Structure 1
């Protein structure tokens, strides 16, 4: 799938909406999310998505599930992680209104799949909290001048060294063994299957209880979450 979508990355600016978080006199501005504008398939109902064994932020009892589809090589995802996710946490996750999940859409190149599978190994062996520490750090370490064609940025050594910044040696060894044995393949493939099922066309992309978010602001997202909680 990475090879099939690679050609689309050069035109990514026409397929995404940026999320930008800024400050104004009265508080924090809403973000602007760049989603793709292709024709949707029929929305998938929340109960048709298997959220088990997926990393998430928030309380399990939260009534609404938000999914971000992302690629660790995607610069828009890096910006989304740094600027938009903290705002979503504050407004929707910390308030108990929603859970926020991360699903992989590894489409840019080999690095995308490798880093996603390594992150899945982190989640499998070290749990949710360490996963998010690694996840955030991996985006922070994404180089500003990366080129989509370059496929050897996120080597196993790079990923291992990054994990060492948030986990001990024994924990790192467990993750590396899990990754080298390709035990994260099924978890990664589960995400990629949802990419096809939900007709995800680019990253970052948001879905609320299985329905694609088409809005342009945090208020639009809050409204969608509130409607989802009411069963709309």
Structure 2
């Protein structure tokens, strides 16, 4: 499986999937084009809504880890199934670090997954659904058909407690889609993110790594 890599194109961010997909770039970033095909953008009140950072662990911890990942990235799914579980148990749940998760949008399905995870605006819900999205990634992405992907995402979201009316509202929120896309672009350009998963550990950029390597860096920072 190929690691997802961001490529500069036309002055904006164009993302290469290593296969087929619905690529996102600045030219198709209007709210209507970001939404699922059956959804119609809700009227925006003018200013875009603020994007809330999703944070676990001790907010005042001296060591901060920021993960950049995409819900459609297979290496990100592998990281969350493996290294992340030990990092969470040994460093996040114990309050040793502040862990921030930031989405990268390679394609519209990744954005739709993010909009569903962020639907209620609740941190616990977000991380619970994120776990589901990674665990079931091969299933909801399997068809490659945008219409089927949306239905599979909706089915997954319902297992987490969302109903159809709530999902309709979330997936038609054009202002939120535009805000998330703008936020993601600013993040990756500012922090020099060029592949996923990527990590900023106290501001230092790192690529994917084993748990032992991750723990070694964290222990060094904590000591």
Q: Is this a same-fold pair by TM over 0.5? A: yes
**Contact 2:196–2:208 (8 Å) recurs in 1:** no
Give the 5 Å matches for 1:70-89.
Answer: 70-89=69-88
Q: Which residue of 2 aligns with 1:116?
A: 114
1:139 aligns with 2:134: yes
- On the 8 A contact 1:70/1:205 being kept in 2, the answer is yes
In the other structure, the counterpart of 1:173 is 165
Q: 1:175: how far off?
A: 4.7
SS in 2 for 1:53: coil
User: Is residue 68–residue 103 contact of structure 2 (8 Å, CA) maintained in 1?
Assistant: yes
- Decide whether aligned partners of structure 1 residues 179 and 209 sit closer, same or farther in structure 2, where only a CA change above 3 A counts: farther
Q: Secondary structure at the match of 1:62?
A: coil
Match runs of 1:60-209 below 5 Å: 60-107=59-106, 109-120=107-118, 122=119, 125-143=120-138, 150=144, 152=146, 155-169=149-163, 173-185=165-177, 186-209=179-202
Measure, in 2, the Cα distance between the counterparts of 1:154 and 1:200: 30
Contact 1:111–1:153 under 8 Å retained in 2:
no
Specify whether residues 200 and 181 from structure 1 end up closer, same or farther in structure 2 by C-alpha distance, changes over 3 A only.
same
The alignment yields a C-alpha RMSD, in angstroms, of: 3.0
CA contact under 8 A between 2:61 and 2:95: conserved in structure 1? yes
Residues 1:153 and 1:75: Cα distance change in structure 2 (over 3 Å): farther
CA distance in structure 2 between the partners assigned to 1:113 and 1:74 by the alignment: 12
Structure 1: distance between partners of 2:211 and 2:110:
28
Consecutive unaligned residues of structure 2, counting only runs of 5 or more, are: 1-5, 8-12, 20-50
Report the Cα distance in structure 1 between the residues aligned to 2:121 and 2:202, rounded to whole angstroms: 27
Q: Within 1, Cα distance between the matches of 2:184 and 2:81?
A: 22
Unmatched runs of 5 consecutive residues or more in structure 1: 11-51
TM-score, length-scaled by structure 2: 0.68
Equivalent pairs counted in the alignment come to 181
TM-score by length of 1: 0.66
